[in-house]
Amino acid sequence: VLVEGDRIFEFDDWRNSMSYWKGDFQYKKTIKSFLSNTQWKKLRDGVFGNFFRLQGVKFCGRLIHSVLLSEIISNDSHSMTFKVFYREVKFTREAFQIITGLKCSSSVDFKVLRERENRLSKVYFPGKDRIELGDLWHFITSHPYGTTASFVGSHDDAVKLATIYFVESVLMGKRKNRNVSERVMKIVDDDELCSSFNWGSLCYEKLLKSLKSCLKPKQNTSENENEKEKDKEKDSYTILGFPFAFCVWIMEVFLIFQEK
């Protein structure tokens, strides 16, 4: 029986696995081609502006995998604890906020959205019960600015659609065959709510849940040895959310250890 402080994984069991991220690495290029210069400036001046000033994002799958193998049992469900170089370090909501600059005040409350209409869905995706991220990507890439196919909606709506795409494809790390969140669409459509919303906690909780579960066997599976061995044999897995913040945190931790 594992107790607090014990390692969860045996390194040799998982050393050949590789982690991946299936979001849009080219999100700036995708979005910029859709927006006018004025719209692009508005996006960069908004709540997610810092992410559009980055030169790019790179995913360090092997680094993440190596650190995940060092996870130890902790009673704190809102963070992850690792033993690195014989020292215990903790990835927390506060660290995520410092790295991303996104508001991480508390858990996310969606009650305010229950009675709101999904206007953007009705206007730009009429007749669709659900919108896949691929639908939104196709809409954006099919309406490049400055061409005869340019977006004909309002300037504000162009920025809102671009923002939704960014949140879903980058901060949530969704694949194109996943549904776009109606909640996210409703939040972004309300300028005041979007600017004050607890985006950091939403993104952190998505990432934390993925990091905590990506190497663990799925629930409701057989506990016999054959099933366990099959689970160990998998050579890759996908991380959701925004794992680049986790990569930055890892590098900061390593630097601290080097200084000591």
Residues pairing with 90 in the sheet: 81
Does the pTM surpass 0.95? The reply is no
Q: Please give the tally of structural domains in the chain.
A: 1
Instruction: Encode the chain (260 residues) as per-residue pLDDT tens digits.
Output: 788 888 888 767 666 788 899 999 999 999 999 999 999 999 999 999 999 998 878 888 988 998 999 999 999 999 999 998 788 999 999 999 999 999 988 666 777 788 889 999 999 999 999 999 999 999 999 999 999 899 988 999 999 999 999 999 999 999 999 999 999 999 999 999 999 999 999 999 999 999 999 887 555 444 455 555 555 555 789 999 999 999 999 998 877 655 55
Please check whether residue 233 is in contact with residue 27, taking contact to mean a CB–CB distance below 8 angstroms.
Answer: no
Q: Would 223 be classed as within a structural domain?
A: no
Owning domain of residue 134:
6-217+235-258
| Segment (H or E) for 82 | strand 80-84
Please check whether residue 89 is in contact with residue 81, taking contact to mean a CB–CB distance below 8 angstroms.
Answer: yes
CB atoms closer than 10 angstroms to residue 171: 25
Q: Would 208 be classed as within a structural domain?
A: yes
Q: Would 1 be classed as within a structural domain?
A: no
Structure tokens at 242: 């925004």
Question: With b meaning 16 or more CB within 10 Å and e meaning fewer, what string describes 129-146?
Answer: eebbbebbbebbeebebe
Cβ-Cβ contacts under 8 Å for 107 (sequence gap 6 or more): 201, 205
Q: Would 228 be classed as within a structural domain?
A: no
